[in-house]
Amino acid sequence: MSKIELKDWQEKIRTPEIECISRDEMASIQSKRLVEVVNRVYDNVPFYHEKMKDLGVEPGDIKDISDINKLPFTTKEDIRNNYPFGLRAVPEEQVVRVQGTSGTTGKLTVIPYTQKDIDVWGECLARELTMAGLTKEDRIHICYGYGLFTGGMGLDIGVSKLGATAIPMSSGNTKRQMMCMEDFGATAFACTPSYALYLAESLKEAGVIPRLKIKAGIHGAEPWTKAMREKIEGILGINCFDIYGLCEISGPGVAMDCIHHKGLHIQVDHFYPEILDPGTGTATKEGEYGELVFTTLSKEAYPLLRYRTKDITSIDYSRCDCGRTLPRISTFKGRTDDMKVIRGVNVFPTQVEQALVSMGGAVAPHYLLVVDRVNNLDVLTVMVEVDESYFSDEIKKLDALRDKVGKVLKQALGIAVKVKLVEPKTIQRSEGKATRVIDNREI
Amino acid sequence: MIKQLSVFVDNRPGSLSEITDNLKEAKVDIRAIASFDTPEFAILRLIVDKPEEAKEFLADKGFIVKISDAIGVELTDETGSLNNLLSFLAEADINLNYIYTFIYRNRKAPVLVFGTDEIDSAIKTLKDAGEVLVDHSEL
Ligand SMILES: [Zn+2]
């Protein structure tokens, strides 16, 4: 196959009556559903009943979606403290499935679903599979893991809803994956981007790519870059899409990007997003970055109010070139866990990275933030590696480079920064969780 | 003309010896060394017998190294000789970026090394004034 160029792409929209409606029309759907969900959790989940009482909020105070900021937050810790099913909002007999996640801290998060929850989840995915150009004629090779993890099962439910054929491979055994992909004539596949790249390279090595019918890849559950997407697309001659989800909210399919790759369209008739200042918990200006917070508008078994994802992003509400009005979240800028409040300003390490990259190679994008408190004043030092091509043997030129980096960072972060140029390769490389910030303040 | 190595180093204990250790391992002979410090980093300037090899070896080890041209002038052992030399350059309006000296082994004479953005006119000025320039091949 060969990758379909944007000009030749024919957009298919499964539910234009939802995906392309005006913001006001969407708000009225959201308002109606918010009122319902608030009543349900108030009546059926003691945790929310207490929380709302503590805030002095009654279900009657919530009249439309703009009242959402009166509602209490839910955190990952709240879910853990009510492990396993303490936040369930329906009687046991209505639950038909549980899915979950093994957190990095050990304790599981397990989420129950009613049949309607499964249907909604599947519907969101079916919209997104359609967005990837797939129809019921397609065969989708699912090499996400099946089991408690939502990846495999979630895609499976979505493929069923679309009416396409699910090939439930689960993860692992690349040889067998390659054989089945070829023999069964899969037209799309779904897995993490890192496995997609590995599989693509293995397929290339085995020389089977010319015999494949694959035309699309659906990848998510870990961050990846445009360069990585283009690499997978290039090797396999396909179009790849970025899918996002979290099991607390439903699973994969909360959002996905379209062929224009200008942010991930959120299924906002079911999952209401807010972007909040992580420090104060108040809404940021539209288009600005902040913490992504979700309220499930239609969930029955396990509705969550204002769940704090800790992911930092921004939302674009303008109509997309694909025709959808579903708002789009941008690439995640980082996690609130990495955020530092320095002299009252929220600073994310990824902002530093982006600023350094924008300097076009003058310094390497390897850096370390060190926060100190000197005479009751926060001091941010950014250690930056000098790049070989920009090294000058004159001190005045290095001083000028340092000053320039300082200026660029001040512009990006909004606070003054002390820059320290260091030798190459002295800063730890990031393979996932590198230390990007050292906070020496005693607060 | 002299081929000089410049190496970027952090200002921390042991950073200079890391470089000299590496050069020893590469069997490179150091003729002269000078360090130019700021509170945070330093530029170490070296004159060695095999600049290209030394650069490659250090770059492989992750150091930032640059080879640049510098001018070496033999100083006569007389009062005022340095002052004379500098005033020729000043009169020709030539700006010096850095300056250091070392002893020229073969003739046991001190050599002044300096860097400038105006190498060609500096060479011409010094030659016209009758100064003795030192070439890398003579070291
Ligand atoms: Zn779009």
pLDDT at A104: 52
Domain membership of residue A90 (yes or no) is: no
pLDDT for A334 beyond 90: no
pLDDT-wise least confident of A51-55, A163-167, A353-357: A353-357
Is-contact A42 A52, C-beta < 8 A?
A: yes
Provide the sign of the torsion angle of the four alpha carbons A391, A397, A402, A408, taken in this order. Answer: negative
Specify whether domain B70-138 bears CATH 3.30.70.260: yes
pLDDT at B64: 86
pLDDT for A172 beyond 80: yes
Same-domain status, A331 and A344:
no
pLDDT-wise least confident of A11-20, A219-228, A239-248, B16-25: A219-228
pLDDT at A389: 75
User: Which tops the pLDDT comparison, A225 or A292?
Assistant: A292
Same-domain status, A174 and A290:
yes
Same-domain status, A378 and A281:
no
User: Which tops the pLDDT comparison, A162 or A383?
Assistant: A162
CB within 8 Å: A391 and B62: no
The edge-to-edge listing of strands for the beta sheet with A271-276 is A271-276, A290-296, A307-313, A334-335
Give buried/exposed letters for A356-377 (b at 16+ CB in 10 A, else e). beebeebbbbbbbbebeeeeee
Chain A environment of B63 (Cβ under 8 Å)? 423-424
Mean pLDDT, rounded, of chain A: 92
pLDDT at A102: 65
Same-domain status, A276 and A213:
yes
Same-domain status, A318 and A360:
no
pLDDT at A443: 59
To the question of pTM greater than 0.80 for the whole model, the response is: no
DSSP codes joined into one string, A411-430? HHHSS--EEEEE-TT-SPP-
Query: pLDDT > 70: what percent of chain B?
Result: 99
Q: Per-domain residue ranges for chain B?
A: 2-67, 70-138
A411: distance to nearest CA of chain B, Å?
A: 23
CB within 8 Å: B36 and A424: no
Strand partners, A188: A140, A216
Given the DSSP bridges, would you call strands A239-246 and A251-257 parallel, antiparallel or unpaired?
antiparallel
Distance CA A229, CA A433 (A): 21
pLDDT at A351: 81
Strand partners, B30: B48
SS3 B44: strand
B89: distance to nearest CA of chain A, Å?
A: 19
Distance CA B32, CA B136 (A): 12
Domain membership of residue A387 (yes or no) is: yes
Last-in-domain residue among A280, A313, A335: A335
pLDDT for A1 beyond 90: no
Angle at A121 between CA A154 and CA A150, to 5 degrees: 25
The 10s digit of each residue's pLDDT in A58-94 is 999 999 999 999 999 999 999 989 999 999 999 999 9
Per-residue pLDDT band at A129 (split at 50, 70, 90): very high
pLDDT for A342 beyond 60: yes
Domain that holds residue A173: 6-23+111-335
The mean pLDDT value for A327-352 works out to 85
Number of compact structural domains in chain A: 2
**H or E element at residue A218:** strand A216-220
Distance CA A422, CA B41 (A): 7
pLDDT for A433 beyond 60: no
CB within 8 Å: A394 and B63: no
Per-residue pLDDT band at A103 (split at 50, 70, 90): low
pLDDT at A394: 80
Nearest CA in chain B to A384: B10
Is-contact A382 A418, C-beta < 8 A?
A: yes
Last-in-domain residue among A312, A335, A358: A335
Same-domain status, A197 and A310:
yes
Domain membership of residue A344 (yes or no) is: yes
pLDDT-wise least confident of A344-348, A368-372, B53-57: A344-348
Mean pLDDT, rounded, of chain B: 88
pLDDT at B91: 92
Same-domain status, A320 and A355:
no
Using the mean position of ligand 1's atoms as its centre, give its distance from the Cα of residue A223 in Å: 19
pLDDT at A133: 97
Same-domain status, A254 and A212:
yes
Is-contact A156 A168, C-beta < 8 A?
A: yes
pLDDT for B106 beyond 60: yes
The mean pLDDT value for B32-57 works out to 89
Last-in-domain residue among A315, A335, A355: A335
pLDDT at A431: 45
The mean pLDDT value for B2-18 works out to 86
Residues of B near A (CB-CB distance < 8 A)? 4, 6, 8-10, 15, 36, 38, 40-41, 43, 45, 59, 62-64, 66, 68, 97-98, 115
Distance CA A279, CA A284 (A): 11
Per-residue pLDDT band at A313 (split at 50, 70, 90): very high
pLDDT-wise least confident of A134-143, A227-236, A321-330: A227-236
The 10s digit of each residue's pLDDT in B122-132 is 999 999 988 88
Same-domain status, A331 and A355:
no
CB within 8 Å: A398 and B8: yes
User: Which tops the pLDDT comparison, B38 or A131?
Assistant: A131
Distance CA A381, CA A441 (A): 13
Same-domain status, A162 and A122:
yes
* Largest distance between two CA atoms of chain B: 45
B70-138 shares the fold of B2-67: no
Chain B environment of A386 (Cβ under 8 Å)? 8, 64
Comparing CB atoms, the residue among B15, B36, B66 nearest residue A391 is B66
pLDDT-wise least confident of A57-61, A186-190, A352-356, B2-6: A352-356
DSSP codes joined into one string, A88-110? --S-GGGEEEEEEEE-TTS-EEE
Same-domain status, A272 and A352:
no
* Residue A322: CATH number of its domain: 3.40.50.12780
Ligand 1 ion: Cβ-proximal residues, 5 Å cutoff = A 258, 260, 320, 322, 324
A432's CB contacts (< 8 A; 6+ apart) are none
Per-residue pLDDT band at A430 (split at 50, 70, 90): very low
What does CATH list as the number for B2-67? 3.30.2130.10
Same-domain status, A271 and A405:
no
* Residue A383: CATH number of its domain: 3.30.300.30
